[in-house]
Structure 1
């Protein structure tokens, strides 16, 4: 690459690679703000989809629900995500990450508000499906959007930084649920035929982070890597200049004068493909675009990578998200047994003997609130996630992704298997929490995907992997709904064994041992 010189107050560079241009823009205020906003977007997905788990124990106040129906409600958001993931991946790779993230967040907020005032259970199910449909796009495109504002050296760390915010936002789940849901007030609305209770307000509260994030992103440009891959070098350079100015907002910063960005083979092929596809009109063009964005993921040289990351995400989401949807209700029952000193028993034995998950309006009138300890344990789980993400972000470059992934998968899988034999209620609760910590791996696998695939396939690869992962969430939630009262051991056994298998599959990820090396820009 050509030398980069400083003359007076101007930094000059000619024909440099995109990665070096991003490195020249620096790492400062802009990057921190973008990490915070990206983490908030990821947290908004968690609040919108997993927040339903805190509504399930108290929804019987207004609606007659069975355990299977609770399973449907807990899984329907993930179903919306699955249905839309392919579409969002295609749109993010062809129209831009920012053009997908902002509108989808605004629409999901509006639908959440509507679902808050809906009187019928199955209408609520349909609306939560739509929330999952629209919140899916931002949750996946954000990884590509954030990573493409950073050099290769800082991309993984930036994504893990956003995950810290995501984990911190997860703490809001039990905190908001305790503050909002565990209240006794009610507001009759005769016009709609409902009694507006705290669990309805919780729908709106969980959608606010997405609204705030969308409003902030209105000030940000499209990612420079995406615009450059579209052949718009000027807009890509303008975005890098914008980042550079933002990073130096509190001091006088020498402007960058990047005359051009070197086009590598990947960029050239992408530009030629876009030019060819623009000449095709109508439905055929759409079908060809979707095919050209998806098919390469399942062909050489990407097939093995795609299969492995999809299996990893399926196992992670089945265990961490699918098994979490009944976590507040299960832990609530475990706390009751623990505090009443009913004797030693494994978790499944406790749920079989004392669990009562199918409720009617009449049965729920006297139990509109959960045990405070259940919220406290949920808070502990989210706090562990936040701290864990921070630790992983610090050590990931030093330790390497392979050891971390294997350790997390195997530890969580073994913890799930121990639930079958440990009969001390306190130990059972903590093993359950460790089992759910398998969610750490989802973000790490997404960071790996960003490195494994070229820019033109990156967002689609993330979306496909997340689509398969969320299918695991649907499977896990419905397994709990159908089998929790009948065959608890089978449900947790499948999830635990799958985590152990995922820990073995990690060894087959290409270049998993390769660590990001610092580049010297001369």
Structure 2
């Protein structure tokens, strides 16, 4: 339904009962109802779609190694390349969302990411898989960068936090779907030969497409939704903004109430965005004015510390998790074969070829052990419950306590993975190691208080970019070292976390006990 049709369906705006109102007041008049709940579900599904596109490769790299002739280092590249696409394009999509509109960016990039994912499922070589997974990351960054703004701008100040937390809850539930989707899709034995592409279409290829479906469905659903009313107001298009608010009110009231009596919407002085900044030079100056102060006194030390902490957290939480299903599958396979007194790294070394030619692949796997899915599911469950627990206690114990405890616990667990010769216990310590991601949200919350209002968004954005760079670094380093220097892989991850724990003491005002700020950053 086009925005231009809203007026005819919701009723003409004729009365002057609300001669002038702000967009926040207008959204409040539209009430919180069916429209809002629907949008929250769609937004949460989109955030889940971003996560599925990024993390689905962690299951594929184990079962696709024969079809694509993957080495461990190439697995690291495939794991990192989606994040690299996100990093490269995040500022582009943020800029386009501020200038061309949130909805158009979200919808178009969801369609494009689905298309590149489908194509990637038909690729026959590592090179082409890398190219199309990069493009998937490039496009999926669009909704990742814009969906929170789009969702928040349909809500008044009073209901905005509730809406964002609702979408985060949907995302949390969606996170736990990944192991189930993988189990139902990958653990099948069928194969379809596609001669003209020189491939055999196996379940792992279909798994890519299934993981992309939530994004496609969400994009189709958003075709019926208007552009963000606040964006339209910022662009000076208040008439269309009023029509959108009227349409929202009509849905929330089931068209049983009279149309809202809004004549005009006034623009607040603080609603100016990049979209209202004219000229490339002016926009670049605006970006510089928001970025440069972060790397000058008095914010330089704060910026550097926050970026280091995010980098270190992502190196381990994301870098080690991308290999978690594969390593756990090796451990479970060894246990099923009667191995019960080896370290994780001894099992990893025993499962790989001894030839210097690393393209020699042994023991190719087309499916994963069922127990592997159980452990990956438990990792997701523990993560969501852990985030909830931290939300409850952080105001009482303080951010420093949470940061140090998580860094220390996860760092020590990584060391125990290497030292213990009991595989069944080592798996649990590996699981705890990847839960270092708990601290991503805590660092974001600290960053909010470390910087003034006009620099906060940019500070968090830059720190998350360093985190994503850490993801790329971590997955590639792990891919290079896991087979040949397995022990070093876990030692490096553990030491990085322990160093981050020490650096936490130097973050200004970190002892402050404040309300947690939970965000989702795929």
> Mean Cα displacement is larger for which, 226-235 or 324-333?
226-235
**Structure 2 Cα separation of the partners of residues 304 and 246 of structure 1:** 49
| Count of equivalent residues | 499
Q: Residue in 2 aligned with 1:495?
A: 493
TM-score, normalised via structure 1 length: 0.80
Aligned-pair CA distance for 1:344? 3.2
User: Residue 119 of structure 1 is aligned with which of 108, 112, 124?
Assistant: 124
The yes-or-no answer on 1:85 pairing with 2:94 is no
User: Residue 315 of structure 2 is aligned with which of 318, 322, 333?
Assistant: 318
Q: Residue in 2 aligned with 1:35?
A: 40
**Structure 1 Cα separation of the partners of residues 491 and 219 of structure 2:** 40
**Structure 1 Cα separation of the partners of residues 295 and 247 of structure 2:** 37
The yes-or-no answer on 1:335 pairing with 2:340 is no
Alignment of structure 1 residues 381-420 onto 2, 5 Å: 381-389=379-387, 407-420=405-418
Query: Is the CA contact (8 Å cut-off) linking 1:86 and 1:467 kept in structure 2?
Result: no
**Structure 1 Cα separation of the partners of residues 160 and 302 of structure 2:** 20
Q: Residue in 1 aligned with 2:176?
A: 171
Alignment of structure 1 residues 506-521 onto 2, 5 Å: 508=508, 513-515=513-515
Query: Is the CA contact (8 Å cut-off) linking 1:345 and 1:424 kept in structure 2?
Result: yes
**Structure 2 Cα separation of the partners of residues 455 and 88 of structure 1:** 22
TM-score, normalised via structure 2 length: 0.80
Alignment of structure 1 residues 203-214 onto 2, 5 Å: 203-214=208-219
* Stretches of structure 1 lacking an aligned partner (at least 5 in a row): 1-9, 518-522
Change (3 A) 1:79 1:339: same
The yes-or-no answer on 1:185 pairing with 2:178 is no
**Structure 2 Cα separation of the partners of residues 512 and 306 of structure 1:** 18
**Structure 1 Cα separation of the partners of residues 122 and 85 of structure 2:** 20
> Mean Cα displacement is larger for which, 308-317 or 114-123?
308-317
- Which structure has more relative contact order (CA 8 Å, sep 6+)? It is 1
Q: 1:281-331 CA deviation, whole Å, 9 max, x = no partner?
A: xx6567556545654654678656654543343233222211111111100
**Structure 2 Cα separation of the partners of residues 219 and 401 of structure 1:** 42
**Structure 2 Cα separation of the partners of residues 87 and 197 of structure 1:** 35
**Structure 1 Cα separation of the partners of residues 285 and 178 of structure 2:** 41
Aligned-pair CA distance for 1:422? 3.7
> Mean Cα displacement is larger for which, 19-28 or 210-219?
19-28
* Stretches of structure 2 lacking an aligned partner (at least 5 in a row): 1-14, 518-522
Aligned-pair CA distance for 1:20? 6.2
Q: 1:411-450 CA deviation, whole Å, 9 max, x = no partner?
A: 4334334334444322211121122223344356557778
Q: 1:331-387 CA deviation, whole Å, 9 max, x = no partner?
A: 01121233444343443344344556998687355x322211112211222233344
The yes-or-no answer on 1:44 pairing with 2:49 is yes
Aligned-pair CA distance for 1:151? 4.8
Aligned-pair CA distance for 1:500? 4.3
The yes-or-no answer on 1:376 pairing with 2:381 is no
Q: Residue in 2 aligned with 1:363?
A: 362
Q: Residue in 1 aligned with 2:6?
A: none
Aligned-pair CA distance for 1:161? 3.1
Change (3 A) 1:413 1:295: same
**Structure 2 Cα separation of the partners of residues 480 and 16 of structure 1:** 56
Q: Residue in 2 aligned with 1:198?
A: 203
> Mean Cα displacement is larger for which, 344-353 or 207-216?
344-353
> Mean Cα displacement is larger for which, 372-381 or 434-443?
434-443
User: Residue 139 of structure 2 is aligned with which of 134, 139, 148?
Assistant: 134
The residue matched to 1:333 in structure 2 has which SS?
A: helix
Query: Is the CA contact (8 Å cut-off) linking 2:353 and 2:362 kept in structure 1?
Result: no
Aligned-pair CA distance for 1:230? 4.4
The residue matched to 1:162 in structure 2 has which SS?
A: helix
> Mean Cα displacement is larger for which, 209-218 or 14-23?
14-23
The yes-or-no answer on 1:348 pairing with 2:345 is yes
Q: 1:167-196 CA deviation, whole Å, 9 max, x = no partner?
A: 322223222222222221111111111111
> Mean Cα displacement is larger for which, 136-145 or 469-478?
136-145
Aligned-pair CA distance for 1:113? 1.0
The residue matched to 2:193 in structure 1 has which SS?
A: strand
Aligned-pair CA distance for 1:502? 4.5
